[in-house]
Structure 1
């Protein structure tokens, strides 16, 4: 199993793409900057719980979904 930040970043990107959203659109919906969302997806930023919640709400998922390991994370 990968690190939690790796799991989160992969889940975030996968769900964003499933929803057909660009990083810019996701950032706008979450009230965050596009470059921040990109850095989070690349695993370059250590994200706060508050921003996990903002991104989850913008994607329409439970925050725990973004933290769950699955087959695509390995």
Structure 2
């Protein structure tokens, strides 16, 4: 049955078990905000990565990004 429950619902229930309801609500909202920030960061990094010109990169960056 648990595999059909939305992971965000499970997270909220877990937080309610750890904290008081107001604290759980605050923690839940903070975590959702962080997830949104990570999504934006990931999208930005992907845009940068896809915009790289491998021929103009320093050898160290070639090694870092494994662009061979």
Could you tell me the TM-score, scaled by structure 1's length? 0.26
Work out which structure has the larger RCO, using CA pairs closer than 8 Å and 6 or more positions apart in sequence: 1
Of the two, which has the highest radius of gyration? 2
